[in-house]
Each structure stands twice: as structure tokens, then as C-alpha cells.
Structure 1
Amino acid sequence: MIIRDAFPSDEPLWRRLWDGYVTFYEASVPEEVTARTWERLIRKEQGMFCRVAEVSGEVCGFTNSVLHAGTWSLGPICYLEDLFVAPERRGRGIGEALIRDLLNMAKANSWSGLYWVTRSSNTAARSVYDRFIKADDFVRYRMDF
């Protein structure tokens, strides 16, 4: 398994995985937003970046993250916004490897923190996440415009 930055040529495979991710969360993302998201990820605009997991030459998982400043630290903080592994590849350590990749990047680049959210009912993912750290007691409030 190789974990690496996404290349522009990865777009078709990323989009297949992205569609699976959006479907999993019972959401819809307009094509215009998906296209702009990919563009920002590839160009690393606004702190956004994408890492992919490649197994036997096939991209089978990704993380989409946003590196940003914080008010409680000097170094940047990484928000792991999206993590997805192809259903047929799950249970093989790919999700864990993608998180470890971000942890290695955090240490190498002096990030102050790494955080992410998931649905409380996403028990399969939470079993992986709990190997790294237990969920805290914060409650998220969200307004969409």
C-alpha cells in the first residue's frame, strides 16, 4: 500500500470513491461543488489537500483535509474532513493507514492538532478511530447556508 498526494490523473477514481462517500452519508453534492472541491484539493488551495491510498496500482481510499490556523495554538491544525475506503477494500487497514499518514505529516510539519467528526452511529469507522483516541464530549452545532 502506498499513501500519497492525489494526482490530477486520480480524479476518475477519486470521484467514484467520493460518490460512495456522499451516498454513505445520504447526502448530495452538486457537480459544481465536487468539481471545485477537486480543484482546490489538487491545487492545495485554502489549506485543502487530498491523500490517497493506492493498492496494486488502484486508488481505493482517500482523506480530504483542511489545514488551518487556530486560536489556541501557534502551529496549524488539520481537520480531516472526509475519509473513505472502497467497501470491497475495508477491513484491511487502509483507513488506519490513512490516519497514520496524517499523524506522520503532523509530526513532520509541527502541526498542533488533528481532528475529525463522524456520525455516532458509524460504528465501523469509530472502531478504527478509537484505536487512536477516544471521542471527546463536544457537541457540534451546524448551520448551512
Structure 2
Amino acid sequence: MIIQLLLIPALVLAVVSSLRSRTSLRGQARRKILAVLTVVAGVLAVMFPNTLQALADWTGVTRGTDLLLYALALVIIYLVGSTSVRFREQEARIVLLARQVALADAALRHVEAMQARSQQAADQAPVAAHRGVEGTAAAR
């Protein structure tokens, strides 16, 4: 059957393309083109249902609805893989961001502690100097 020759490579292509990285501009353009083609195919299937049946007959599928089901299964497989990859990438970005925030927070606390020590030392210096003056006067 022709449908088997079409579905097997389409299934492999859907899985491979859904698992690719989402960050490249080429990948984003590819997804947008795929979305537009899916919408156009859906509109054409609704407007011309006999064409869907003719495609089903040509591919060896008994009904046009079965062909539509196969196509929707491919789209769902693509979406599940794509969503999984997107979540993993977002999780990695969140982990990186959390690490950067933690490091920035630790650095800020370190700077504040150093300033507090410096301020403490500055506050104690005049008192020590004053005590030193009184101590030398009392010794006389």
C-alpha cells in the first residue's frame, strides 16, 4: 500500500523534527511554515471533502476520514515531541537563571558584609584613638 510507504517516513520525520532544538531561526521558520500548511490543508479538507477521499483512494486507505486520522496522529506526535523539547529547554534556562541569581545574591551579601566590617572598623577607630589620648593624659 502506498500509505505505508508514506506514513513510515512521515512518522520518522515528525519524530526527528520535533526533537530538534527550538532556538534556531531556521527551526522557528520551519514550524511556522508547518503550521500554515496544516491550516491550509484543514481548510481544503473541509471545503473539498471529495479531494480527501480521492487522496485516500490513491494512497490505498478506505476512507478519507481514516487518512485524516493518520495525518492528525502525525501532527500529535510532532506536537508531543516538540512540547517535550521546549519544556526541557525552558527548564535548563530556569536552572541557569537560578544559578546566576544565587551567585549574584551571594556576591551582594559578601559586599554588604565587607562594607559592614569596614564601617565597624571606622566606627571603632575614633574611639580607640580617643582612649589612647586619655590614656596618655592619665599617665602623666
Asked if TM exceeds 0.5, the reply is no
TM-score, length-scaled by structure 2: 0.24
Higher relative contact order (CA 8 A, sep 6+): 2
Greater per-residue strand proportion: 1
Structure of greater Rg:
2
